[in-house]
Chains A and B, each alone.
Chain A
Amino acid sequence: MSELRVLNTRAPRIDAPAKATGRAKYSDDLAMPGMLHAAILQSPLAHAKILHIDTSRVRKLPGVKSVITAKEAGLVKYGVSPARYDETLFAFDKVRYVGDEVAAVAAVDQAAALEALDLIKVDYEELPAVFDMFDAMKEGAPLIHDEFPGNVNAEVHQEFGDAEAAMAQCDLVVDHTFLSKRQDAAFIEPHSCLAHFDLDGRLILYTSTQVPHYVMRTVAMVVQIPVGNVRVVKPYVGGGFGPKSEATPLEMSCAFLARETGKPVKMTYTREQVFLHSRARHQFYAEMSLGVKKDGTMVALKNKAILDGGAYTSFGIATVYYSGSLLGGPYKLKAMKYDGWRVYTNKPACGAQRGHGGVAHRAAFEQLLDITAEKLGIDPIEMRLNNIMTTGDVTINELDMSSLGMKECIEAVRDGSDWKNKKGKLPKGKGIGTACGFFVSGAGYPIYRSDTYHSTVVIKVSEDGGVATVLTGSAEIGQGSDTAMAMIAAETLGIRLSDVRVVSGDTDLSVDLGAYSSRQTLMTGHATKEAAEQIRNKIASYLAQEMDSDPESITFADGIVKFDGKPGNFEKIRSMYIKEHRGWTDPPSGEFLTFREAARLAFLKGGTLVGTGKYKPPRLGGSYKGAAVGTSPAYGCSAQVVEVSVDMETGEITVDDMTDAHDCGLAVNRTQVEGQMQGSLSMGLGECLFEEVKFDSRGRILNASLGEYRIPTALDMPNVKTIIVESGEPNGPYGAKEVGEGAIMPTIPAILNAIYDATGVRVNELPVSSERLFMAMKKQQQQ
């Protein structure tokens, strides 16, 4: 790694100055002349037949330019996975949750749009509703979608090895159940979109999304525009964390209304609408059994999952598969059985969120591991070290751990937290806990069945040779992908980071599936590297001709070019460059040929200097049903140790210390890797201790605001000791793999295990509020 010049540094993000000065434009910061404002009418009832919609009064309201319902917008079914398209833009026969979209209006200003909503008259016939996932599965429960009896949206049954037989051979089998709660992503930027048709009649959609490519496809399908006539542009995005990984009714409504009116149309969700749109973390129920040998060797795992999906599928099929497949590692198992059900309820739909499908089941499993270790009298860290996989291992469900620094992560947090001097030695009310996890570096397959490249990239060098611009459809959503791509391009081209620009998030630039499943560093990174290599090779080839040297002898680093490590005789190229640019401010100088001069030569020889790169994973995974979910070219992994204080009188929990180690293969940018780790822990801490979207008895969200739905503040988060492990991933660009999601995996169970260590009480239900812990402690005292 010593030869790296740009990668693995702490270079500041390339977009940071624009963001620090308020110049960075997000979707809601955009405006166009003549722009109309839109608003969506949403159902006040959780489950009801729509008998009649009367929009006649709205159409007469001054300032209203268009009203659309299912009648105008049509009934094209859409969703995330083509196998479960179960949504239409507007409800037509019935509404299925409080917030289901019924109509949209465009008006001259926001106030007029909102006034118009009040004038739309909808006659509903209320139906019995079901809000609890267990109730929804019972016989006689209200049916939410006619096509899905028992409200079962998807079910998965997988078995690897013979679980029953393996369990029978175990010395100890331990059971555990766990219930998590619906978490909101709570990104600070609400969804926002501005749609207009350009002079060529193309739909241009500026929108706050993680996935411009998928939005382009879905909007084209639903609004019925040829996909070539839809361009999606992602301005700066204020966080996504998963729920912005699919097309929204907001985007489709704006597109429709822009076509209806011939004017630009803008809409931004209120914070309440962000909660109503949701697509965030499911509620999970886990029922698990772990079978082990006396010496602590793990043998078999049985895992049952029930997921509360809400009213529509969204990403849910993948979610219910992930809850099983992401327990295949990082421990060796001889057998694993998984049964999962995703259930419809009359609540907002849940989707993908950081650590997709894996977080709650990882929490349950890592608690179960600790319970088992205690029964066997084995230290939890030792228990894990004795069972972990290493590089080259393949999980029982056929996931290939092509690099896995699990051992290094566990040892790093053990030593970094001074575990040996603390575990079992802390006073009552103080506790220490640990947990591990792993996650994909990009999904092995696109959402729709296709042989498409997952990422393509174009790099174009300016005609003077001074600037390389990376053009990509990938989505910078705050995670730092623009900077990562700039660094990969700079490293590969052998130029300074400051000489690279990135234009991203635009479907006109390249194909990129977007920012989900922690895929861009690896996949867009590969394509960026390949494009840069192509440029470097072109330049080397022209230079070799010009200098009469061997292209293999030419090297590029720090913006200068060397021939067999020496300056070479480049005088002719330099004098030509200086002559061409007479009077310019920055003539090339120094004892070596600059990249700029070399790239200019290539331009003169071959025209505009462009490189293209592409990436798609090889065929991955097994051949069983659902084998695709969980496959990835590489897996990141992590371990954490958490220390807590518990007020034994009140149950109040303070997280005092967190030590986190993550194997990201190679840290493209060390500061940003730490940032992903610390952010993941913060999100996990919130989910563990206080986050829960609550509903009343009629399915209305009780806490659809960031005041009443509490996420961690600066006062809740401790400083995290952040340790980067770099195992060098053979399938990643320069050895890099994921960090953005895997880092959240151990957080909840590490906190829960620490709370147990502090109190002797196992809490099996989130969030662990003071009240819940207090009641659990009281119950135990009484027993």
Chain B
Amino acid sequence: MKSIIRMTVNGESVEAAVEPNRTLTQFLREDLGLTGTKHGCGLGDCGACTVILDGSAVNSCLVLAVQANGREVLTIEGLAENGKLHPLQDAFVEKGAIQCGFCTPGMILSAKALLDSTANPTETEIRTAISGNLCRCTGYQKIVQAIQTTAQALQGTEVS
């Protein structure tokens, strides 16, 4: 039995009828076509499906679509504004923080949730914030650098 849900996704209001067992990942990817949210394990282990729900980074595979009713969701597709990349996206591109790219959307959104709450994070805070986002390609170093660079840039300090 489907329920009607309403939520804001990337700034636009969305209304849909969904089965009660539909995950937010499935809803975003299959119903809304927002395939930037990746499905890597379905168990909350890998973090590839990370989205920002009311300001917090969550594994969308562990959230039911109905639980997002009335709430605000940001996916990777909503980050760039008018075609201009978000500073985190820019930094990930510039610093070589992206290899296969499968963890990238979730990684960037975890980083955004961190920077939204902690403007000037330490390296340990950065590493902790992305510790639920697995990356098998990069060894994380360039990802951490990209997040550090962004934090500095957003603060208007000198960027090395």
The yes or no answer to A720 lying at the interface (CB within 8 A) is: yes
Query: Of A22, A682, A707, which one neighbours B75 at CB under 8 angstroms?
Result: A22
B65 within 8 A of partner (CB):
no
Smallest beta-carbon distance A707→chain B, Å: 4
Inter-chain contact B100/A678, CB cutoff 8 Å: no
> Interface on chain B toward A: helix, strand, loop, or mixed SS?
loop
Q: Which of A21, A678, A713 contacts B134 (CB 8 A)?
A: A713
B: number of interface residues (CB 8 Å): 55
Stretch at the interface among B1-9, B103-111, B151-159: B103-111
Q: A12-B94, A705-B43 known; A714 and B85 CB under 8 Å?
A: no
- B149 → chain A closest CB, angstroms: 13
In the assembly, what is the distance between CA of A353 and CA of B139, in Å? 17
**Beta-carbon nearest neighbor of B126 in chain A:** A714
Q: Are A13 and B96 in contact (CB under 8 A)?
A: yes
The residue from B43, B76, B80, B138 contacting A707, defined by CB atoms under 8 A apart: B43
Interface membership of chain B positions 30-65, coded 1 if the CB is closer than 8 angstroms to chain A and 0 otherwise: 100011111111111110100000000000000000
Contacts A20-B85, A674-B142, A682-B140; is A26 near B102 (CB within 8 Å)? Answer: yes
The verdict on A238 contacting B140 (CB below 8 Å), with A20-B93, A21-B77, A188-B40 known, is no
A19 to B98, Cβ gap below 8 A?
yes
Min Cβ gap B95→A in Å is 8
> Within the complex, what minimum Cβ distance (angstroms) separates B144 from chain A?
7
| Neighbouring A residues of B144 by C-beta, 8 Å | 714, 719
CB pair A21 B85 closer than 8 Å: yes
Closest to A19 in B: B101
Is B143 engaged at the interface, CB distance under 8 Å to the other chain?
Answer: yes
Known: A478-B101, A714-B143, A717-B141. A241 touches B136 (CB 8 A): yes
Interface residues in A226-244 by Cβ distance below 8 A to B read 236-239, 241
Q: Given the known A-B contacts A479-B99, A705-B43, A706-B45, are A21 and B76 also in contact in the complex, defined by CB atoms under 8 Å?
A: yes
Docked complex Cα distance between A21 and B89 (Å): 7
B137 CB-CB contact with A under 8 Å: yes
Given A189-B100, A715-B131, answer yes or no on A675-B137 (Cβ-Cβ < 8 Å).
yes
Q: Are A22 and B137 in contact (CB under 8 A)?
A: no
Given A241-B136, A678-B139, A713-B134, residue A24 in contact with residue B101 (CB < 8 A): yes
Whether A188 lies near B94 (C-beta < 8 A) is no
Q: List CB contacts (< 8 Å) of A473-498 with chain B.
A: 477-480
- How far apart sit A238 and B99, CA to CA, in the bound complex (Å)? 9
B128 at the interface (CB under 8 A from A): yes
With A13-B98, A714-B130 as known contacts, state yes or no: A679 contacts B93, CB within 8 Å. Answer: no
CB distance from B16 to the nearest CB of A (A): 17
The B-contacting residues of A in range 144-194, CB under 8 angstroms, are: 185-190
Q: Does B135 contact A (CB under 8 A)?
A: yes
Q: What are the residues of chain B within 8 A of A271 when measuring CB–CB?
A: 40-43, 45-46
A268 to B37 CA separation, bound complex (whole angstroms): 16
- Report the Cα distance A656→B27, complex, angstroms: 42
User: Which parts of B109-143 form the interface with A (CB within 8 Å)?
Assistant: 126-128, 130-143
How many angstroms from the CA of A596 to the CA of B135 in the assembled complex? 41
Chain B contacts of A478 at CB under 8 A? 99-102, 137
Give the chain B neighbours of A16 by CB distance below 8 A: 92-93, 98, 101
B79 within 8 A of A: yes
A713-753 residues with Cβ-Cβ distance < 8 A to B are 713-715, 717, 719-720
How far, in whole Å, are A671 and B37 apart by their CA atoms in the complex? 26
Contact of A22 with B43 in the complex, beta carbons under 8 Å: no
| Contact in complex: A188, B128 (CB < 8 Å) | no
Contact between B42 and A683, CB atoms less than 8 A apart: no
Contacts of A22 in B (CB 8 A): 34-37, 75-77, 105
Does A424 reach chain B (CB closer than 8 Å)? no
- Asked whether, in the complex, the Cβ of B137 is within 8 Å of the Cβ of A679, the reply is yes
B34: nearest chain-A partner, CB-CB: A22
**Does A77 have its Cβ within 8 Å of any Cβ on chain B?**
no
List chain B residues, Cβ under 8 A from A18.
101
Bound-complex Cα distance A706 to B35 (A):
21
Bound complex: CA A682 to CA B45 (Å): 18
Could you tell me the distance between the alpha carbons of A681 and B137 in the complex, rounded to whole angstroms?
A: 10
A675 vs chain B, min Cβ distance (A): 5
Selected contact of B127 from candidates A26, A270, A711, A715, CB within 8 Å = A715
Q: Which residue of B lies closest to A670 (CB)?
A: B96
Given A271-B43, A705-B45, are A188 and B135 neighbors across the interface (CB < 8 Å)? yes
- What is the CB-to-nearest-CB distance from B70 to chain A, in angstroms, rounded to a whole number? 24
Q: Which residue of A lies closest to B147 (CB)?
A: A714
Q: What residue of chain B has the Cβ atom nearest to residue A709's Cβ?
A: B45
* Chain B residues with CB below 8 A from A15, complex form: 101
Residue from A16, A186, A187, A190 whose CB has the most chain B CB atoms within 10 Å: A16
CA distance A22 to B76 in the complex (A): 6
| B103 (CB) vs chain A CBs: closest residue | A188
Known: A187-B136, A678-B142. A672 touches B131 (CB 8 A): no
Taking CB atoms, residues of chain A closer than 8 Å to B139 are: 675, 678-682, 712, 717, 720
A238 in contact with B101 (CB, 8 Å) = yes
Distance in Å: Cβ of A516 to nearest Cβ of chain B? 15
- Taking the closest CB of chain B, its distance from the CB of A361, in whole angstroms, is 23
- Smallest Cβ distance from B124 to chain A, in angstroms? 8
- Known contacts: A671-B96, A707-B43. The answer to whether A21 contacts B101 by CB under 8 A is no
Closest Cβ–Cβ distance, residue A266 to chain B (whole Å): 11
Q: Which residues of A contact B131 (CB under 8 A)?
A: 713-715
Report which of A711, A715, A720 forms a contact with B136, defined as CB distance below 8 A: A711
Residues of A contacting B30 in the complex (Cβ-Cβ under 8 angstroms): 31
Q: Tell which of B92, B108, B132, B137 touches A239, judged by Cβ atoms closer than 8 Å.
A: B137
* A477 and B37 alpha carbons, distance in the complex (Å): 19
* Given A187-B136, A720-B141: A707 touches B45 (CB 8 Å cut-off): yes
Report the minimum CB–CB distance from A2 to chain B (whole Å).
Answer: 23
Q: Are B127 and A714 in contact (CB under 8 A)?
A: yes
Residues of A with C-beta under 8 A to B103: 188, 238
- In the assembled complex, the CB of A496 is this many whole angstroms from the nearest CB of chain B, namely 17
- Residues on B with C-beta less than 8 A from A706 are 40-41, 43, 45-46, 134
Residues of A within 8 A of B135 (CB): 188, 714
Contacts of A190 in B (CB 8 A): 39-41
CA distance A477 to B132 in the complex (A): 23
Question: Quick one: given A238-B38, A270-B42, are A189 and B105 in contact (CB under 8 Å)?
Answer: no
CB <8 Å contact, B43 and A678: no
CB distance B36 to A23 under 8 Å?
yes
How far apart sit A715 and B77, CA to CA, in the bound complex (Å)?
28
**Chain A residues in 8 Å Cβ range of B89:** 17, 20-21
For A677, give the chain B residue with the smallest CB separation: B139
- Contact status B130-A17, CB under 8 Å: no
- How far is B135's CA from A28's CA once the two chains are assembled, in angstroms? 18
Cα A719 to Cα B139 with chains together (Å): 9
* Chain A positions within 8 Å of B38 at CB level: 26, 188-189, 238
- Flag if B96 contacts A10 (CB, 8 Å): yes
5 more A-B contacts (CB under 8 A) besides A20-B92, A238-B101, A671-B95?
A22-B35, A22-B105, A271-B45, A478-B101, A675-B139
20 A–B pairs (Cβ distance < 8 Å), ordered by A: A20-B101, A21-B80, A22-B105, A24-B101, A26-B35, A28-B39, A187-B102, A188-B100, A188-B134, A189-B48, A238-B38, A238-B102, A478-B137, A679-B137, A680-B139, A682-B140, A705-B41, A707-B45, A717-B139, A717-B141
Closest 7 CB pairs of A and B: A22-B36, A478-B100, A238-B102, A19-B101, A678-B139, A22-B76, A682-B139
